[in-house]
Structure 1
Amino acid sequence: MTPPPSRARHRVRRALSTAAAAVAVLGALAVPPAHAGASQVPVFRDGFGLTQVADGSVVRGDTDFTLTVTSAEVTGPHRIRVFLPSGYAADPGRRWPVTYFLHGGPGTVDDVAAVPALRSDDMITVVPDGGRKGWYADWVMQNTALGAADWETFHLEQVVPFIDANLRTVPDRAHRAVSGLSMGGSGALHYAEARPDLFGHVAALSGGLDFGMAEFRAAVLATELNLPGAWCAISSAAPGTCADYGPYVDSDAVFGSPYPVLGADRVWKAYDPAAPTNLSRLADTGITLYTGDNDLIESYTARAAHTVKARLDQLGIANRLVDYGNGASLSPACNGGHTYACWAPAFADWVPRVTAAFAAAA
């Protein structure tokens, strides 16, 4: 039975008030970009709707560089950071598998520097900008303060073929993975479901995977309204410790109305990475989920991860869930919280597994 509108609104608002403070750490610590160097990098040609910005490159070395591009799909310039294997230039006849890393909110492409395992000599790693609150979706509203916001189209129909056209990749699903954490964790699972022809492997870390949970709908609303930033502005928190999710946008901007009344939340349901219909598209995909459960946000991500696992099991789809609880089983540095101290060792566990799968598919 559908709850009355007033009760549904009260339920989401109550969850929103709980999540507003907690969501300030979604995506966690951004890492400052390194200074540009003088190294040479592969020459990229514009295409697939992407135009490179002149003087928009940051070069840290032959195997670590950032491009800046524009696209009609997402307003403003956006960066793409790339890690190449150390042997890329020395072996010009070799092609490489690719892993895409989707950062959390309100992160940047430079967050990847906190994950050493993604600088692998066995694969190319690509980190596209996902916006402070892009949620890896094509937004319902395109006329907000942020302008065009078709993030999913930008990534899947532009960035992926752009990378394949300009780098020596193995351009098939068996040699392409998508991974992400927090906001990027839900994005990674959604992208694997939306385009199983592109991605044969997915890893979702501490993701907001279940959009049926009011807490995750509330988290999206909090980022749309920049409630963490507003809360910090009147708090006594130290400068620089509060998340800023950018300009205020309408609470229906990303996925439309969050209220489950008369089908108003149909976009949420269609996108929902935990929906059995969407999960069924992963029948031939290598699936790994990671979560802790030792702070407020991780208590929600753990619930969502276990829901996804249970539904995958019911569908008969192989999957691997690593619930490291308080972190003791994962790393001495991990306390089970929503932090790179846990995500970095989780990636250190996953990367050798996915590179072995890439090699087995050769």
Structure 2
Amino acid sequence: MPVHRPTRRTVLRAAMASTAALAATAAGVTPAASDSARITAENWLDDRTVDLTVVSPALRASAPVRVLLPTGYAARPDRTWPVLYLLQGAHDDYTSWTRETDVSSFLAGQDVIAVMPSSGPTGIPTNWWNYGLPGSPDYEKFQVDEVMELLRQRFRAGGRRAVAGVSTGGYGAVAFAARRPGVFSAAASYSGILDISAPGMSTVLSAIVARENLLPFLLWGFSGDNWNLHNPYARASALAGTGLYLSQGSGLPSTDYGNLEGAVLEGTLWSQAHRFTTQLETLGIPAQVHFYDGGTHAWSSWQQEFKASWPTLATGLGLG
């Protein structure tokens, strides 16, 4: 869903890997793996940024994870650190946050580890239905459980967590907080899909999945209970006690005339975002909400929204 587009070769390679993983599961193929996720490679890009290759039992595959350390990390070898998850959008990858924003410099002086795990080519961080077969790719378990345990083992991560995401990553941030009450102290969504049952949202999600050469119903099945289990709107009551920041632009009219597609997509998500925040109000759950005129479904809007949400995230991380 982000306007950024990786190269055709990158997208095709990712789509083929995802399709192969689903096909292997459907065929009953179980890659050899231990019961626990493990890091098989580290690629240090600088003294604060490292890309990990993780063998994940939850995915039955290897997946990349980017970790961004605070500037004071090396000088304080005896302390633990809170963790901020930054989730990608659709048709993008785990490098998007550091590629498209100044998050590295912004977080340099903050006492937090930022982690950017892959959500696969669709960017939807969930446990795939895949005909209900056991062993289907589970990005939720990979990100929430496996990655966190590796961060504890390798980078002295503590128990406090917050999560933020753009587009489908915004969905993931709020869905994780609702599906795992108490695991994340704060969650922020920037142009996220917060009510998958709202008019038009199943079409949007199906288009995302189909673009990666996957059958749309592999995501959560055709309809019904499994969709409700993954719908932040349906599980909103579980967000009580979680610090929330939710932002959404109206898209059109937009001053970004060069990105009409992004403006239209942003506007498509406008009504469902309002439905979700109305649900929170009905339940008496507080949230910091920023609905703004214009904007596009792009990083030009999301970077400033991340900074606006930082006080909410920092409080959840114990830094406020």
Q: Please, what TM-score do these two structures have when normalized by structure 2?
A: 0.81
Give 1:105's aligned residue.
90
Equivalent runs, 1:175-254 vs 2, <5 Å:
175-226=160-211, 245=212, 248-254=213-219
Picking from 34, 39, 56, the partner of 1:52 is: 39
Deviation at 1:182, TM superposition (A): 0.4
CA contact (8 A) 1:31 1:111 kept: no
Cα distance between partner residues in 2 of 1:177 and 1:168: 16
Structure 1: distance between partners of 2:86 and 2:221: 26
Q: How far 1:168 moved relative to its partner?
A: 2.2
Counterpart Cα distance in 2 of 1:142 and 1:152: 18
Q: What's 1:325 paired with?
A: 293
The yes-or-no answer on 1:85 pairing with 2:53 is no
Unaligned runs of 5+ in 1: 1-25, 34-45, 227-244, 258-263, 327-335
Identity of aligned residues (%): 27
Does the 8 Å CA contact 1:28/1:104 hold for their aligned counterparts? no
In the TM superposition, residue 312 of structure 1 has moved relative to its aligned partner by 0.7
Q: Which residue of the other structure, out of 135, 141, 146, is the alignment partner of 1:153?
A: 141
Q: Partner amino acid for 1:68?
A: T
Q: How does 1:38-77 map to 2 (within 5 A)?
A: 49-53=36-40, 56-77=41-62
Other structure's SS at 1:252 match:
helix
Tell me if the contact between 2:97 and 2:103 (Cα under 8 Å) persists in the aligned partners.
Answer: no
Cα deviation, residue 75, structure 1:
3.8
Bigger fraction of residues in strand: 2
CA contact (8 A) 1:138 1:151 kept: yes
d(CA) in 1 for partners of 2:319, 2:113: 17
Could you tell me whether the CA contact under 8 Å between 2:49 and 2:68 is conserved in 1?
yes
In the TM superposition, residue 206 of structure 1 has moved relative to its aligned partner by: 0.3
CA contact (8 A) 2:79 2:156 kept: yes
Shift of the 221–356 alpha-carbon distance from structure 1 to 2, 3 Å rule, reads: closer
Q: Distance in 2 between matches of 1:116 and 1:48?
A: 37
Alpha-carbon deviations, 1:297-342, whole Å to 9, x = none? 211322222111111111111101111222xxxxxxxxx0000011
Secondary structure of 2:65 counterpart: strand
- Aligned residue type for 1:29: H
| CA 1:253–1:92: 2 relative to 1, 3 Å | same
Cα deviations by residue, 1:219-265 (Å, 9 ceiling, x for unpaired) = 22112222xxxxxxxxxxxxxxxxxx3xx2222101111xxxxxx43
Deviations 1:265-309 (A, max 9, x none): 32112211112xx11111110000011111222113222221111
Note if 1:269 corresponds to 2:228: yes
Counterpart code for 1:102 = L
Report whether the alignment pairs 1:296 with 2:264: yes
Aligned equivalent of 1:132, options 101, 111, 121:
121
Distance apart, 1:153 and its partner CA? 1.6
Instruction: Name which of structure 1's ranges 285-294 and 86-95 shifts more when overlaid on structure 2.
Output: 86-95
Over residues 160-211 of structure 1, what are the superposed CA-to-partner deviations in whole Å (9 max), with x where a residue is unaligned? 222123222221xxx3101111011111100001112210100011011111
**Structure 1 residues 47 and 60: CA distance shift in structure 2, 3 A:** farther
Structure 2 counterpart of 1:152, which letter? E
- Report the counterpart of residue 254 of structure 2 in structure 1: none
Give, in whole Å, the separation in 2 of the partners of 1:154 and 1:348: 27
The yes-or-no answer on 1:116 pairing with 2:84 is no
SS of aligned partner of 2:272? helix
Whole-angstrom CA distance in 2 between matches of 1:30 and 1:79: 18
SS of residue in 1 equivalent to 2:237: helix
Task: Provide Cα deviations, 1:115-169, integer angstroms capped at 9, x if missing partner.
Answer: 223551211100000001152111110699xx94111121122112221232222
SS for the counterpart of 1:109 is coil
Query: In structure 2, do the counterparts of structure 1 residues 72 and 298 end up closer, same or farther at CA, with 3 Å as the change threshold?
Result: same
Change (3 A) 1:224 1:358: closer
Query: What TM-score, normalized by structure 1, do the two folds share?
Result: 0.72
Structure 2 unmatched ranges of 5 or more: 11-32, 252-262
Secondary structure of the 1:221 match is helix
Q: Which residue of 1 aligns with 2:3?
A: 28
**SS in structure 2 of the partner of residue 207 of structure 1:** coil
Q: Quote the Cα distance in structure 2 between the aligned partners of 1:213 and 1:184.
A: 18
Q: Given the superposition, is the C-alpha separation of residues 292 and 164 from structure 1 closer, same or farther in structure 2, using an over 3 Å criterion?
A: same
Checking the alignment, whether the CA contact within 8 Å between 1:65 and 1:82 is kept in structure 2 is: yes
**8 Å Cα contact 1:115-1:347 kept in structure 2:** no
Aligned-pair Cα RMSD in Å: 2.4
CA distance in 1, matches of 2:239, 2:205: 25
Deviations 1:39-77 (A, max 9, x none): xxxxxxx98721223xx4321112111101112221432
Q: Quote the Cα distance in structure 2 between the aligned partners of 1:194 and 1:202.
A: 12
Kept in 2: contact 1:98–1:176 (CA 8 A) = yes
SS of the residue 1:214 aligns to:
coil
